[in-house]
Amino acid sequence: MNDGYTADAERLATEAGQFDGLAGRVGAIHRTLTETLAENGRCWGADAVGQSFGSAHAGPADATVTQLGSLPEQLGGVGARFAGTAAQYTSDDQGGVDRLRAAGPDIAEA
């Protein structure tokens, strides 16, 4: 019976490394999107309907593109925190092993 939890620190560290690649992909997508939007300008036209649409949606659209720009850094931060957590788990486990060994002879050797 297991009343606690387990952690696979090695797998966590491995998976944490994937966030850098994801951050790079998101950054490239954001750059492409930003460049494409800049090249094509506003798409809703200059007539009354277009102006009405633009006034309602331009702000939220710009805010979304801005938020997407910070996503690569945020993903990198998540990966770094996962890697740090994996390192801490490994260190804590090794510390526990060291304390048990220091407490007495290994049961397997007795």
pLDDT tens, the chain, 110 aa long: 567 888 899 999 999 999 999 999 999 999 999 999 899 877 778 889 988 988 899 899 899 999 999 999 999 999 999 999 999 999 999 998 888 888 877 665 54
Handedness of CA 100, 102, 103, 105 (dihedral sign): positive
Length of the chain: 110
Helix axes 48-103, 9-16, angle to 10 degrees: 150
Q: Where do we find the tokens 């620190």?
A: 9
- Compute the distance between CA of residue 16 and CA of residue 84 in angstroms, rounded to an integer: 9
